[in-house]
């Protein structure tokens, strides 16, 4: 049987959300799906000692970054940076994306695909292999790839420009007309290996990590989606245009009744398996996390 793992990037300020995600996974995804949580180096002990993550694979980001990159001990202009002699200062956001692309370095070879799910997500109904993949006519496994006509994604044009600079996309507007960003996004090992080889070919050092560290802004999901769609011609994938974990902005809920109503409406859709309780401005959130967790557990 094909094997997959779930991968989550998290940090100390999201630890309670990540606890709730893990609780919902135990309820709906079962104990047999490996779960890898990648955290900031300084948060490793906090996550590793938390009983909520007892059966998870907890890893530091530094395990996936070049060993000579050093994290500045203080933020600059609101961002933490990694620095090295070979790269521009690398923001934590870029580090997070590189870690997602490098995650197979942590896994045994039998893991065929990874399912990227943010720590702000929760499962609300049973979830398994048949929900994100299918058997192709030749007997191989095909995995879901989200693709939808672009409507409103910040930095979309820049994501597409960077992708064009790194891979042989078709000319014309068609590749730039779609969005590939969703929860979850699935990376297939053999496809990701080809993508990283393609990116490395544009690096003077032959390192895809160097190339992306020296790229100010990109989207790992756009890079992977565009490459699989237009270069690999959907090898190992089939297209899907519904977000299985639609976004619900947590700062918009003034009380538990409004949250409960939204979750009820979303879970009525047959292709929805959970929600992403995304935080915008933390200062705008009025609903305590304990109340959010209590409402979520009503759906367990």
* SS3 label, residue 22: helix
DSSP classification of residue 196: H
Please tell me whether the peptide bond between 210 and the residue prior to it is cis, using omega within 30 degrees of 0: no
| DSSP H or E run through 146 | strand 141-146
Our CA angle for 173, 174, 177, nearest 5°, is: 85
What is the per-residue pLDDT for 77? Answer: 78
3-state secondary structure 153-172: CCCHHHHHHHHHHHCCCCCC
Question: What DSSP string runs through 50-82?
Answer: -GGGTTSEEEEGGGTS-TT-EE-SS-BTTB-EE
What is the per-residue pLDDT for 111? Answer: 96
Cβ neighbours of residue 265 closer than 8 Å, sequence gap 6 or more: none
Q: Six-digit token pair at 200?
A: 């490395």
Phi-psi region at 165: left, alpha or beta (left = phi > 0; alpha = psi -120 to 50): alpha
Cβ neighbours of residue 78 closer than 8 Å, sequence gap 6 or more: none
Do β-strands 111-116 and 87-91 pair in parallel, antiparallel, or remain unpaired? Answer: unpaired
Question: What DSSP string runs through 232-291?
Answer: STTTTEEEE-S-SS-B--GGG--SHHHHHHHHHHHHTSTT--EEE---S-GGG--S-HHH
Burial 260-279 (b: 16+ CB within 10 A, else e): bebbeebbeeeebbbbbbbe
DSSP classification of residue 115: E
Residue 8: phi, psi to the nearest 5? -130, 130
Burial of 178 (0-12, 13-18, 19+ CB in 10 A): buried
Q: What is the pLDDT along the chain (300 residues), one digit of tens a residue?
A: 569 999 999 999 999 999 999 999 999 998 889 999 999 999 999 999 999 999 999 999 999 999 889 988 888 877 889 999 989 999 999 999 999 999 999 999 999 999 999 999 999 999 999 999 999 999 999 999 999 999 877 899 999 999 999 999 998 888 899 999 999 999 999 999 999 999 999 998 999 999 999 999 999 999 999 999 999 999 999 999 999 999 999 998 989 999 999 999 999 998 999 999 998 777 678 899 999 999 999 999
């Amino acid at each position: 049987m094909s094997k997959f793992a779930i991968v989550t990037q998290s940090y100390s300020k999201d630890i309670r959300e990540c606890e709730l995600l893990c609780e919902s996974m135990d309820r709906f995804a079962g104990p047999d799906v490996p779960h890898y949580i990648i955290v900031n180096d300084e948060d490793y002990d906090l996550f590793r000692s938390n009983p909520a993550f007892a059966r998870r694979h907890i890893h530091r980001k530094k395990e996936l970054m070049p060993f000579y990159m050093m994290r500045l001990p203080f933020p600059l202009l609101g961002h933490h940076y990694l620095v090295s002699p070979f790269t521009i200062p690398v923001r934590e956001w870029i580090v997070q994306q590189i870690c997602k692309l490098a995650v197979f370095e942590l896994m045994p070879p039998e893991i065929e695909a990874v399912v990227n799910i943010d720590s702000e997500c929760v499962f609300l109904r049973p979830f398994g292999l048949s929900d994100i993949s299918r058997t192709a006519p030749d007997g191989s496994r095909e995995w879901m790839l989200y693709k939808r006509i672009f409507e409103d994604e910040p930095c979309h044009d820049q994501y597409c420009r960077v992708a064009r600079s790194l891979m042989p996309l078709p000319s014309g507007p068609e590749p730039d007309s779609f969005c590939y960003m969703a929860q979850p996004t699935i990376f297939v090992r053999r496809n990701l290996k080809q993508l990283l080889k393609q990116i490395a070919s544009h690096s003077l050092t032959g390192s895809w990590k160097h190339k992306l560290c020296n790229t100010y802004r990109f989207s790992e999901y756009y890079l992977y989606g565009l490459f699989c769609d237009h270069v690999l011609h959907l090898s190992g994938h089939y297209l899907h245009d519904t977000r299985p974990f639609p976004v619900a902005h947590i700062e918009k809920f003034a009380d538990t009744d409004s949250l409960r109503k939204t979750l009820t409406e979303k879970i009525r859709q047959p292709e929805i398996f959970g929600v992403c309780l995304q935080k915008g401005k933390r200062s705008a959130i009025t609903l305590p996390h304990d109340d959010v967790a209590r409402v979520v557990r009503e759906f367990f």
